[in-house]
Amino acid sequence: MEALGIALSGMQSAQTRVAVSAHNVANLLSEDFRPQRAVQTSVAAGGSQVRVAQSPDPAPVSLAREVVGQIQASTQHSAGARVFAVGAEMRGTLIDLFG
């Protein structure tokens, strides 16, 4: 997988992680709430993917854990966006040189 695809998959994974965390925070006080977890794994060809798993039993939601997860996902998304921008710029330069 090329750099643009890897960066895009990382950004999509980060978006899913934020969405899952937001779902957990929104339901923080719900009775018998079963929180979700975003399980991110790397893909052999490059990039990442996220699988959303729901707790089989009601469980408390740790606001601190959710905030830290959102910060990590935000940082991951920013890094992916930067890699994507640099990759697109490099591709444009190559096209200008050899196009």
Question: Pick the residue with more confidence: 47 or 90?
Answer: 47
> pLDDT category, 94, cuts 50, 70, 90?
low
Q: Domain residue spans in the chain?
A: 3-98
C-alpha span between 32 and 85 (Å, rounded): 43
C-alpha distance across the termini of the chain, in Å: 22
Q: Calculate what percentage of the chain has a pLDDT beyond 90.
A: 81
CA 97, CA 99: separation in Å to the nearest integer?
Answer: 6
How many residues are present in the chain?
99
Q: Which residues make Cβ contacts (< 8 Å) with residue 46, sequence separation at least 6?
A: 1, 2, 5, 6, 9
Tell me the pLDDT tens digit for each residue of 52-89.
999 999 999 999 999 999 999 999 999 999 999 998 88
Q: Which residue has the tokens 């930067």?
A: 82
